[in-house]
């Protein structure tokens, strides 16, 4: 009932010489003691307030006793806090640690220094509302006064709330969430749970406050964990999920995110074990990069150009490892056919000649190197093939739906069969001019449904726009449908002067034809699966 137990009353009674205190009396006294103590504390708090302090001191209690007309506590204070010691053998029994003091020591001790006298120091806390940065003032970083312009804003709208910059406070829940995600990303032991986490990252609203933490986390971990393949893969998954989340506004953090992502694409070494399929990671990251460019390319015009520059540099530097080349090729390929045509195909010939010795099983003894070279070769082939396929696909004359296009997987299959390789001159080379002519005949005779699409598409390539090509690349399987849609669009725009368009088409197709020939030169038959059968029949 009372805070003061009756045992305490009994003990106190004994200590002041009352031995025959009845238990009932103690029980009655206990609540009263508590009441009196509370009363004194209430007065002591008043004394404290009037002494302009926020910590209660012994002198306040003295003051309170004085206010209540009670006998003051006599004696000297120790000057320090009372130390309590635990009594040995008892769990909740304490006693005050009272040191014995030798009188001699006290007498012989040198006199203490006189306390410094009270003084007043004067300084400017503020000059016309601005705090000068002088040592007497609190450092400005702690709380910064609102900036000058905000003050003037007030004049216009008197109801604007001025808020001092506050520390970024994360709620407990978000902290936990972040910790959990980070843990899962790092642990790699629970793939199913990690998948759930990714889904949550990609869909949950309200994660925005965590974005800076995630970007930091990703940057840190990527720079630290280049040897840890799984970790990198997990991190890229996290990036992808963050990008997918519609509630997150990630643009301001892209500049922090991009280096990590690009690292995962073109780093010399990702993972330290042979079994680590870093090719997969590079493919995945390439798609990620493409996604980023697609989404933010419009807002950040320099984003893609900077990225392609980095990738092309990586590709064209013969000193760089083949893995890096692979990553660069994949990255460029993911960015779309126009990019490939402009940046990869133009450099294809010299590059392939460089690659040649590596590919040769006799010359390149290192199995690993050879394998890598073949990977790169495959990637190049695929990029070029998809590019040329895209070019040829636009020939509209052939109404038959395109055969199932070689997908990513097929490209790989090819690339992993080095024995089939046969780099030789093909007979089709000679015939190609004719083919070109035939091919260009097509649009003249046909209904030319692609008028609208093509001119715009042709105007774009120099700007590295990924708009049409990458979308097609991403939805290879949907090509027929999208084509149909385009045909519909095209039929609307038929009024456009046919002549100019035809010229354009002619030039375009000429380019395509030339390209095809060149590719055929370089790749031989291996390029053929990329060419739609109907086209092929025309060309070959």
* Choice from 131, 244, 347, 460 touching another protein (CB under 8 A): 131
Cβ atoms < 10 Å from Cβ of 257: 22
Q: Binder to another protein among 7, 32, 220, 441 (CB under 8 A)?
A: 32
Instruction: Name the segment binding another protein (CB under 8 A); options: 61-69, 84-92, 265-273, 318-326.
Output: 61-69
Least gap, CB of 123 to another protein (angstroms): 6
Q: Which of 151, 176, 361, 368 binds another protein (CB under 8 A)?
A: 151
Least gap, CB of 12 to another protein (angstroms): 17
Residues in binding contact with another protein, number by CB under 8 A: 56
Q: What is the rounded CA–CA span in Å between residue 453 and residue 489? A: 8
Asked if 504 contacts 458 with a C-beta cutoff of 8 angstroms, the reply is yes
Q: How far apart, in whole angstroms, are the C-alpha atoms of residue 210 and residue 238? A: 13
In the structure encoding, which two tokens stand for residue 385, read together? 């093939």
Judged by CB under 8 A, which stretch of 31-39, 230-238, 254-262, 357-365 contacts another protein? 31-39
Query: What does residue 94 show for φ and ψ, rounded to 5 degrees?
Result: -125, 155
Is 1 near another protein (CB under 8 A)? yes
* Residue 54 binds another protein (CB under 8 A): yes
Please give the C-alpha separations between residue 178 and each of 68, 174, 181, 233, 238, in angstroms, as whole numbers. Answer: 56, 6, 5, 18, 12
* Contact of 352 with 378, CB cutoff 8 Å: no
Contact by Cβ (8 Å): 130, 147 = no
111 binds another protein (CB under 8 A): no
Nearest CA to 198 among 247, 241, 243? 241
By CB under 8 A, tell whether 365 contacts another protein: no
Site membership for another protein, residue 128 (CB under 8 A): yes
- Least separation in angstroms between residue 120's CB and another protein is 5
- Contact between 172 and another protein by CB under 8 A: the answer reads no
* Choice from 75, 80, 112, 115 touching another protein (CB under 8 A): 115
**Spatial separation of the C-alpha atoms in residues 115 and 122, rounded to whole Å:** 21
CB contact set of 517 (below 8 Å; sequence gap of 6+): 429, 432, 435, 436
Does 449 contact another protein by CB under 8 A? no
- Judged by CB under 8 A, does residue 46 bind another protein? yes
Determine the Cα–Cα distance for residues 530 and 378; give it in Å rounded to an integer. 13
Binding flag, residue 109, another protein (CB under 8 A) = no
Residue 130 interacts with another protein (CB under 8 A): yes or no: yes
The residue range among 137-145, 206-214, 418-426, 468-476 that interacts with another protein, by the rule CB under 8 A, is: 137-145
Is 158 a residue that touches another protein (CB under 8 A)? Answer: yes
- Contact between residue 381 and residue 526 where contact means Cβ atoms under 8 Å apart: yes
77/401 with CB nearer another protein: 77
Decide: is 147 part of the binding site for another protein (CB under 8 A).
Answer: no
Applying CB under 8 A, among 101, 109, 111, 122 the residue interacting with another protein is: 122
56 or 423, CB closer to another protein?
Answer: 56
Q: Whole-number minimum distance, CB 23 to another protein, in Å?
A: 15
Place of tokens 């971990």: 221
> Are residues 78 and 72 in contact, defined by beta-carbon separation less than 8 angstroms?
no
Sign of CA dihedral 293, 299, 303, 308: positive
- Got the DSSP string for 183-251? HHHHH-S-HHHHHHHHHHHHH-SS-GGGHHHHHHHHHHHHHH-TT-HHHHHHHHHHHHHHHH-TT---G
Q: Which stretch binds another protein (CB under 8 A): 158-166, 194-202, 261-269, 382-390?
A: 158-166
Near another protein by CB under 8 A: residue from 34, 204, 426, 476:
34
Tell me the two tokens of residue 216.
């930091």
Residue 116 or residue 275: which is nearer to another protein going by CB? Answer: 116
Query: In what helix (H) or strand (E) does residue 428 lie, and over which residues does it extend?
Result: helix 428-445
Q: By CB under 8 A, is residue 7 in contact with another protein?
A: no
| Position among 16, 101, 106, 142 found at the interface with another protein (CB under 8 A) | 142
Per CB under 8 A, 113 contacts another protein = no
List residues binding another protein (CB under 8 A).
1-2, 28, 31-32, 34-35, 38-39, 42, 46, 49-55, 57, 59, 63, 66-67, 115-131, 136-138, 142-143, 145-146, 151-152, 154-155, 158-159, 161-162, 164
């Amino acid at each position: 009932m009372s805070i003061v137990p009756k045992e305490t009353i009994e003990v106190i009674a004994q200590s002041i010489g009352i031995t025959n205190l009845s238990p009932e009396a103690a029980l009655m006294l206990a609540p009263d003691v508590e009441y009196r103590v509370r009363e004194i504390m209430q007065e002591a708090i008043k004394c404290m307030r009037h002494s302009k302090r926020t910590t209660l001191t012994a002198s306040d209690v003295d003051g309170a006793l004085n206010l209540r007309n009670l006998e003051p506590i006599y004696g000297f204070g120790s000057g320090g806090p009372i130390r309590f010691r635990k009594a040995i053998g008892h769990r909740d029994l304490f006693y005050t640690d009272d040191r014995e003091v030798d009188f001699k020591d006290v007498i012989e001790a040198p006199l203490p220094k006189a306390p410094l006298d009270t003084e007043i120091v004067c300084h400017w806390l503020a000059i016309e509302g601005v705090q000068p940065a002088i040592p007497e003032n609190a450092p400005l970083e702690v709380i910064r006064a609102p900036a000058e312009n905000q003050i003037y804003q007030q004049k216009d709208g008197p109801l604007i709330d001025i808020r001092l910059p506050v520390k970024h406070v994360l709620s407990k829940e978000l902290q936990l969430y972040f910790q959990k995600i980070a843990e899962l990303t790092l642990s790699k032991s629970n793939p199913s749970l990690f998948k759930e986490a990714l889904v949550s990252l990609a869909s949950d609203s309200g994660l925005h406050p965590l974005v800076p933490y995630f970007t930091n986390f990703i940057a840190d971990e990527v720079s630290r964990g280049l040897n840890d393949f799984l970790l990198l893969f997990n991190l890229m998954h996290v990036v992808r999920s963050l990008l997918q989340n519609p509630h997150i506004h990630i643009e301001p953090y892209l500049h922090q995110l991009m280096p990590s992502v690009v690292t995962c694409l073109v780093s010399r070494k990702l993972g330290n074990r042979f079994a680590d399929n870093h090719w997969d990671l590079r493919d995945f990251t390439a798609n990620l990069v493409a996604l980023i460019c697609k989404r933010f390319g419009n807002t950040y015009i320099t984003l893609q150009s900077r990225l392609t520059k980095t990738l092309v540099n990586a590709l064209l530097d013969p000193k760089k490892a083949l893995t890096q080349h692979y990553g660069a090729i994949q990255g460029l390929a993911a960015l779309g056919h126009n990019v490939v045509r402009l940046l990869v195909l133009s450099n294809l010939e010299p590059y392939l000649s460089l690659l040649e010795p590596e590919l040769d099983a006799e010359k390149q003894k290192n199995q690993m190197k050879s394998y890598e070279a073949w990977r790169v070769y495959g990637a190049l082939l695929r990029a070029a093939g998809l590019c040329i396929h895209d070019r040829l696909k636009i020939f509209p004359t052939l109404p038959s739906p395109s055969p199932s296009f070689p997908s990513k997987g097929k490209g790989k299959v090819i690339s992993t069969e080095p024995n089939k390789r046969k780099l030789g001159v093909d007979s089709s080379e000679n015939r190609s001019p004719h083919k070109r002519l035939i091919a260009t005949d097509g649009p003249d005779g046909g209904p030319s449904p692609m008028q609208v699409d093509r001119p715009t598409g042709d105007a774009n390539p120099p700007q590295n726009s990924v708009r049409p090509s990458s979308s097609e690349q991403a939805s290879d399987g949907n090509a027929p449908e999208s084509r149909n849609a385009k045909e519909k669009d095209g039929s609307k725009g038929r009024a456009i002067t046919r002549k100019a368009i035809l010229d354009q088409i002619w030039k375009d197709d000429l380019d395509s034809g030339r390209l095809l020939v060149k590719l055929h030169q370089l790749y031989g038959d291996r390029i053929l699966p990329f060419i739609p059968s109907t086209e092929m029949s025309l060309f070959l």
